[in-house]
Structure 1
Amino acid sequence: MRVLLTTWGSRGDVEPLVGLAVALRGLGAKTVVCAPPDEEFVTLLDRAGVPLVPICPTVRSVTAGTKPPTAADAVRLASDLVSAGFDTLAAAAGGCDVLLANGMMAAAGARGAADRLGIPYAYACYHVRGLPPRKIARDMNGQSVQDAADKAHWEQGRKAIAMFAEALNSHRVAVGLPPVNDFLDYVYTARPWLAADPVLCPAPSDTTDLDIVQTGAWILPDNRPLPQELEAFMAAGEPPVYVGFGSMATSSPRDTARVAIEAGRAHGRRVILARGWAGLTAIDDADDCFLVGDVNQQALFPRVAAIVHHGGAGTTTTASRSGTPQVVVPQIGDQPSWAARVAELGIGVAHQGPTATLDSLTAALTAALDPQTLDRSRAVADTMRTDGAAVAAKLLLDTAGTESRPTAL
């Protein structure tokens, strides 16, 4: 059995697919991942022994430039991703039995590639905000919307349709396929997959026109030891606070680092500072701050006092599984929703807004470091699933072996 998995996004989009690829390999399937060729993604897939087919530009070249992407840039990228689906993805999927795409950025082109080859297709997302905004769209055309977040989700979906639909249909017609009338039905399918832990991100219960498959989060096991220098730092005092914002760029890395380190000091805590794409670095020569790059978070997070992060799906899941309290400082996309859920579960604090000040982060750490938050974090960690990738791998292979072609999950 051969499987193609694809996404275009940050490490939080790529790493779960690698986890799924490893689970598929354990069941005897040959798996290829199509993903952006950022250096850290290449290293990640190489370490897991999963073949990578690069697709479109690096994410960092688009998101971490000197200027934010414009609307014209977004339209051009959407067109390029659809083109890649009909070219790069279609070539990589030759001989494959099923194709799975994560997220809107890759899904339109991926579905086109699957149709072109006549193989089953599945759409997966890591948060409910990645599900089709059908119910919300009906509300918008009727009387009201549920709340501001639902309205924003519907608007995001509407803009995505405008960006991708024209490019998709022009490519379909060019290869002899009929145009698509309902973009949402086509890309999301009637049976989308939700690759998120049910405790952290439960599937909506009021959806009548979708058969949502919640597999649990796709975790890539990380067996790397922590660097010796980091182990020495950890052993030299009380558990420190971890601060990292992953693939998120900040407007002022220097200020972000200063606030993080000084907030830790206000609590008498040392700080482990992750460079990330923002390029965070120490603000002085004091020995209470240790700078790390790519590190095994699965090994590190259970050993720190608190985790300050941006609220990406992967980081939130790893932090929650560790049983360590969190402070989520959300930046974009679904991150405010993850922050809200962390606060709702009582396993951490949702920071208000994307820019922390010394006062706001110090106050958030006060709540996170409360013993009751630690007790609740440990209790919730014990309820989380660890078999999401295995569940999804078996389901994907079962589908590939039983469904007629062409079709969609």
Structure 2
Amino acid sequence: MVETPGKRIVIASFGSLGDLHPFLALAQELRNRGHHPVIATTPFYKERIQALGFEVQSLGPPVSPQDPELMHRLMRTVRGPEYLFRKMFLPHLPEMYAELERICSGADLLIAGEVVLPAPILAEKTGIPWVSVLLSPISLLSAHDPSVLPGFPFLSLTRSWPLMFQKALLKLPALAFRRWSTPLREFRKSLGLPDDSEALRTGKLKANLVLATFSPQFAQPQPDWPANTLQTGFAHYEQESLPEHDEVQQRMEEFLQAGTPPIVFTLGSAAVHAPGNFFWMSARAAHRLRMRAILVGDPRGLSAPNILTVPYADYRKLFPHAAIIVHQGGIGTTAEALRSGRPQVVVPFNFDQPDNAARIVRLGVGLKHERRMWRDRQAHYSLLRLLRDNSFAERAALIGEILRKEDGTANAVHAIEQLMATRS
């Protein structure tokens, strides 16, 4: 460990719980090492984070990650990413910048997620050292390891094309970001900063340190990643038990002990608020297989023999007991499913989820199933394939064993401390 006096470190993040948890893992480890982390995030999470004993500052518009209408716009429409940037964040950029500037007053370091749009601007304007945390491989948009992009599904068919074509194809998302970036460029101009037409896409890559907090088992480092990038492994958050979850945990433990391993169906903490008929079709598929199931999301009105519905689950405790895990492909859920060593079916909705699903398939630990085709009969066949082909379970167990030995949180915090030591 690099010896540094305790520092005040602002950790800014937006997103679902799956997005927030890696930052809480970093905050816990930094606090354990004598630093004072300050969490800056949407007011929706303020009480939850305060209960963990952290200082919390509100940042950004007061949106709810549990708003069904918002989640439908983000998760179930092809223009979800555009809505995120152009409607949710960019109109509020001046206020968010002022809030972040106030929160960072007197801070020694800023750690920010990629959609914290004022972070690169504040660092450029004030000189505060900062660390950019990228949770998924798609955030790095490598031509050497092409990602499946939301809104450009046909690009998944071009993965085998030569490198020169991959570089040309990356101009498509670059053009989209450039088209959305007018408010950001105007705000930079108002601060006296030079114009940068690529700022919305590449600002997150210009930090003093870029942390790629996912395992090399999931995505290998690539030659076109920025030179200041360090791949750490997944930052695993050890959740603290909350009293309101104890009764749910007990129900799950009793169900698990009462029979054979169930299929676990979950949509994480965002897509679960715009599930469509996912849970109904999942229950019917489990019934066709005559298997037990746990549905995480508490779908209203769904009750059937051998099926347990719960509003919440600690994946760390549940996933290792599953026969198969079916999920939406969010990076937090995907990381926990990989660590559990159980085979998966990924039913992606939007953002990084289609790319994460494709990586699960290439890794040989599971299958991808298109959301619009998640019907009881089709779902039944995907699940049956995993049950009959032991190679998926064997490969998943091997990858899980490797990932459980990684310590992405410690690797990330060690790098952060090294950066602070060099800046002292």
Same fold (TM over 0.5): yes
Aligned equivalents of 1:168 and 1:181: distance in 2? 9
- Residue 16, structure 1, aligned to residue 22, structure 2: yes
1:95 to 106, 111, 121: 106
Q: By how many angstroms is 1:181 displaced?
A: 5.8
1:269 to 291, 302, 311: 291
Aligned equivalents of 1:212 and 1:340: distance in 2? 23
Question: Conserved in 1, the CA contact under 8 Å of 2:330 and 2:356?
Answer: yes
C-alpha change, 1:128 and 1:13, in structure 2 (3 Å) is same
2:121 to 112, 127, 150: 112
Equivalent residue letter for 1:111:
P
**Secondary structure at the counterpart of residue 391 of structure 1:** helix
1:392 to 412, 415, 420: 412
Q: By how many angstroms is 1:251 displaced?
A: 6.2
Counterpart in the other structure of 1:296: 314
Matches within 5 A, 1:125-274: 125-131=134-140, 148=158, 154-164=171-181, 166-180=182-196, 182-183=198-199, 184-189=201-206, 192-204=210-222, 206-207=223-224, 210-224=227-241, 227-246=249-268, 247-248=270-271, 253=276, 255-274=277-296
Counterpart in the other structure of 1:64: 69
Query: If the length of structure 1 is used for normalisation, what is the TM-score?
Result: 0.84
Q: By how many angstroms is 1:153 displaced?
A: 5.8
Counterpart in the other structure of 2:370: 352
Q: By how many angstroms is 1:353 displaced?
A: 4.3
Question: Conserved in 1, the CA contact under 8 Å of 2:8 and 2:37?
Answer: yes
Q: By how many angstroms is 1:367 displaced?
A: 2.2
Matches within 5 A, 1:48-59: 48-55=52-59, 56-59=61-64
Equivalent residue letter for 2:413:
A
Aligned equivalents of 1:232 and 1:207: distance in 2? 49
Percent of matched pairs sharing the same residue: 24
C-alpha change, 1:93 and 1:256, in structure 2 (3 Å) is same
For these two proteins, the number of residue pairs brought into alignment is 386
Question: Conserved in 2, the CA contact under 8 Å of 1:90 and 1:116?
Answer: no
5+ residue gaps, structure 1, are: 138-144, 405-409
Question: Conserved in 2, the CA contact under 8 Å of 1:24 and 1:390?
Answer: no
Question: Conserved in 2, the CA contact under 8 Å of 1:272 and 1:289?
Answer: yes
Question: Conserved in 1, the CA contact under 8 Å of 2:65 and 2:71?
Answer: no
1:383 to 396, 402, 405: 402
Q: 1:251-295: CA deviations, max 9, x gaps?
A: 663x322210111122221111111xxx633533x3322111222
Counterpart in the other structure of 1:77: 88
Quick check: 223-232 or 330-339, which moved more?
223-232
**Secondary structure at the counterpart of residue 380 of structure 1:** helix
Q: By how many angstroms is 1:169 displaced?
A: 3.8
Aligned equivalents of 2:191 and 2:371: distance in 1? 46
Counterpart in the other structure of 2:163: none
C-alpha change, 1:273 and 1:353, in structure 2 (3 Å) is closer
Aligned equivalents of 1:263 and 1:331: distance in 2? 19
C-alpha change, 1:73 and 1:193, in structure 2 (3 Å) is closer
Equivalent residue letter for 2:124:
D
Aligned equivalents of 1:194 and 1:338: distance in 2? 14
Equivalent residue letter for 1:237:
G
Question: Conserved in 2, the CA contact under 8 Å of 1:133 and 1:154?
Answer: no
Q: By how many angstroms is 1:337 displaced?
A: 1.6
Counterpart in the other structure of 1:6: 12
C-alpha change, 1:146 and 1:290, in structure 2 (3 Å) is closer
5+ residue gaps, structure 2, are: 1-6, 147-154, 160-165
Quick check: 317-326 or 28-37, which moved more?
28-37
**Secondary structure at the counterpart of residue 227 of structure 1:** helix
C-alpha change, 1:27 and 1:256, in structure 2 (3 Å) is same
Question: Conserved in 2, the CA contact under 8 Å of 1:219 and 1:386?
Answer: no
Query: If the length of structure 2 is used for normalisation, what is the TM-score?
Result: 0.81
Question: Conserved in 1, the CA contact under 8 Å of 2:68 and 2:273?
Answer: no
Equivalent residue letter for 1:400:
M
Q: 1:136-192: CA deviations, max 9, x gaps?
A: 99xxxxxxx99657677643343233333x333433444454444652554421753
Question: Conserved in 2, the CA contact under 8 Å of 1:133 and 1:157?
Answer: no
- Residue 367, structure 1, aligned to residue 385, structure 2: yes
Counterpart in the other structure of 2:342: 324
Q: By how many angstroms is 1:331 displaced?
A: 0.9
C-alpha change, 1:157 and 1:400, in structure 2 (3 Å) is farther
Q: By how many angstroms is 1:59 displaced?
A: 4.6
- Residue 314, structure 1, aligned to residue 314, structure 2: no
